[in-house]
Amino acid sequence: MRLVPVKSSSTLDGAISAIRGYILGNHMQPGEVLPGEFRLSEELGISRNIIREAMQHYRTLGIIVSKPKVGATICRLLPEDPYENYLPFLAAESAKILPEIAEVRYSLETGAAGLMVQYASDADLCHLQEILAKFKTESDYGGMRALDIDFHRALLESTHNSILTGLIPLLVNFFSEMFPNRGKEIHFDASAVERVSREHGAIVAALLARNEDALRQELSRHIGFYIKRATQKKD
């Protein structure tokens, strides 16, 4: 598929559209290289400055990267972290936005139980069991939170759904980072450590048994505790 010249009135939007059409029309995949700026400028009939701006649009999205001596290369076609550029703004509005993220996380994580049961591999299950074993020797708040993040990342990654895993940085990492700012941090005394370990153990047991209903119930019980804390001040 050839590049389609851009009408003079289209300028930047037209260049962005034309490059998108070229990528899709040629079924380009990660690792493939786009035409150079000179060729793009010549075939589209617009200045190289506009081409640079259009290419920057796709760099910002993470779709292309510039490689020395190679040029603009397709990096990925699905977003790995669609909220990456918005996180500083969400953090500034965390008191307002965190309850909403909590609700989305609860809905997606419990709702993904069927996908976890269907698609979790042996390697996924082993990874979850390895994280679970570490809970038994950790009592520090920071260490527990890091393990909890790893555990829930691994759970969502076990769905092998690229759209869902693309939300992990927002629903798990960002949520966990902002969660303590909602009020008093949870103190992980011996009873709290035992509770968290027990709940995570029940989640893994249900997943090992490929029991969707039990897994959804255990996820709801475990995540519900944190979601309730995050949403308790919601207006």
Res. 56 pLDDT band, cuts 50 70 90: very high
Boundary-marking domain end, from 34, 50, 74 = 74
The pLDDT of residue 190 is: 64
Q: Is the same domain home to 70 and 119?
A: no
- Residue 43: CATH number of its domain: 1.10.10.10
pLDDT score for 233: 53
Tally the domains of the chain: 2
pLDDT confidence of 6, banded at 50, 70, 90?
A: low
Which CA distances in Å does 132 have to 101, 128, 129, 138, 181? 25, 6, 5, 10, 26
Q: Is the pLDDT of residue 49 over 50?
A: yes
Q: Do both 89 and 37 map to the same domain?
A: no
Residue 10 has pLDDT above 90, yes or no: no
For 59, residues 6+ apart whose C-beta sits below 8 A from its C-beta are 65, 66
Domain boundary among 41, 74, 107: 74
Pick from 74, 19, 73, 76: nearest CA to 43: 19
What is the pLDDT, as a whole number, of residue 138?
75
Instruction: Look at residue 235 in the predicted model and tell me its pLDDT.
Output: 47
pTM above 0.75, yes or no: yes
Q: What is the pLDDT of residue 188?
A: 54
pLDDT tens digits, residue range 159-216?
999 999 999 999 999 998 887 644 444 455 666 677 788 899 999 999 999 999 999 9
Nearest to 75 by CA among 123, 31, 107: 31
Answer yes or no: do 147 and 199 share one domain.
yes
123 and 212 share one domain: yes
pLDDT of 64-120, one tens digit each? 999 988 999 999 888 888 898 899 999 999 888 988 999 999 999 999 999 999 999
Domain that holds residue 40: 11-74
What's the CATH number where 128 sits? Answer: 1.20.120.530
Sequence letter at residue 54: A
Domain annotation covers residue 67: yes
Same domain for 64 and 23: yes
